[in-house]
Amino acid sequence: MTIPVLPASPEKTASTDDSITAWALAARGGDPDAIDRFVRALHRDVVRYVAHLSADPQVADDLAQDTFLRALGSLHRFEGRCSARTWLLSIARRAVIDSFRHAAARPRLSDEQDWQLAVEHAQPHDLPGFDDGIALLDLLAALPDERREAFTLTQLLGLPYAEAAAVSDCPVGTVRSRVARARVTLMGLLAEAEEHCPELADRENSGAAPAALAA
């Protein structure tokens, strides 16, 4: 059964990242086609990342727009020493942090309806396992910020641990630890949810649980 939150294979991600980085480098010279390809290729990842990191999908579009405005204004400084995806997600992270600093209060945790709206913007509706994806994203809102970020980068967006560490500005071992702890927490939350929702238990027994939680 296909689960929409599965990360891309490492080979596919590496190949795609090479193309995106090439577009970013070409965009430095003002190539409009390269700029368009660069933005289109990473827009979905940025929206998903800032939605998870901010725990407020309702502001994801604004944060994504801010991210790309910052990135396009800084393209002349991008030299391709890391992938364009890693570079852009680092900018997205700073955009979210800046939004926190300017907020009058901590962002509230989104309710199930908010998460569903975010997924509806990021995922096609006709994929098998779509409801499972919504359930996983809803559970992610309960994680501590650092663990949610690590899990999102590696398990949902498919970044290698080294690149996720670069985005998060922490050691690779720390990312691995956060992902492991996030997975344990999510499995516990899923088990708790199954007690109140027999349908989730039926999916678990049929092998349809979100595969991103598998060790």
- What is the count of structural domains for the chain? 1
- pLDDT score of 191: 75
In a domain, 5, yes or no: no
- Of residues 35 and 98, the one with the higher pLDDT is 35
In a domain, 4, yes or no: no
Q: Provide the domain limits for residue 151.
A: 10-213
| CA atoms lying within 13 Å on the CB side of residue 101 | 6
- pLDDT score of 194: 61
In a domain, 95, yes or no: yes
CA distances from 201 to 130, 148, 190 (A): 16, 24, 9
pLDDT in tens, 196-209: 555 544 544 554 45
- pLDDT score of 104: 44
* Claim: this prediction has a pTM higher than 0.85: no
In this structure, what CATH number is given to the domain that contains residue 150? Answer: 1.10.1740.10
Residue 54 has pLDDT above 90, yes or no: no
Query: CB–CB of 75/28 below 8 Å?
Result: yes
In a domain, 148, yes or no: yes
Q: Which of 63-67, 170-174, 202-206 has the lowest mean pLDDT?
A: 202-206
- Which one-letter DSSP state was computed for residue 6? P
Residue 74's CB is within 10 A of a number of other CB atoms, namely 12
In a domain, 151, yes or no: yes
